[in-house]
Amino acid sequence: EDLRLEDLEELAKLDPNNKLKKPRLSIKVKTATTAMVNDNNDDVTAKPNIKFPLAQSQYTKLLLESEHQRDVQTTQILAQDILAKSAAVDDLVAKLPGMQRTRKMQMERIDELIRANHDVTRELEEAYRVAHEKRELVRKGLGETTCLALGVEEDT
């Protein structure tokens, strides 16, 4: 099979015996260490098996995987936040007055409040009418008393 020059150069970069200086890749890899316990109950830290990307395609794949992992974590965090806030809103709505009433019960309560409002309005109007009458009686009596005290005849 014939290989192109670019393929041969790519294979030369992957050859472990190749003495060419390999390009430095800029990627941060989080390594997880696990503690292992041997028979003597001594803690031994195991070295993680990390493979660094040697080719551009490997680097791209690793980068896409890390971005995907970050996106998954962000989505999970946002979903948890949304669920928590939704639960809080549900609790607040449940605490609103009258939420245990049906629509029919709420309409009956509204009608009851409207009737009570009309009753109070009539009482207020009656109290205003009585106060107005008493004020006119006081004015008339005060006017007569003042005229009598001054010795003046009242004009009618």
pTM score, two decimals? 0.38
Per-residue pLDDT of the chain (156 residues; tens, 9 = 90+): 455 666 666 665 655 555 555 555 455 555 555 444 455 555 555 556 666 767 888 888 888 888 888 988 888 888 888 998 988 998 888 888 877 888 899 899 999 999 999 999 999 999 999 999 999 999 999 988 998 888 888 675
Q: What is the DSSP string of 10-73?
A: HHHHH-TT--SPPPPP--------EEEE-TT--EEEEPP------SHHHHHHHHHHHHHHHHHH
Please answer whether residues 98 and 109 qualify as being in contact, where contact means their C-beta atoms are separated by less than 8 angstroms: yes
Taking only Cα atoms into account, the Rg of the chain, rounded to an integer number of angstroms, comes to 46
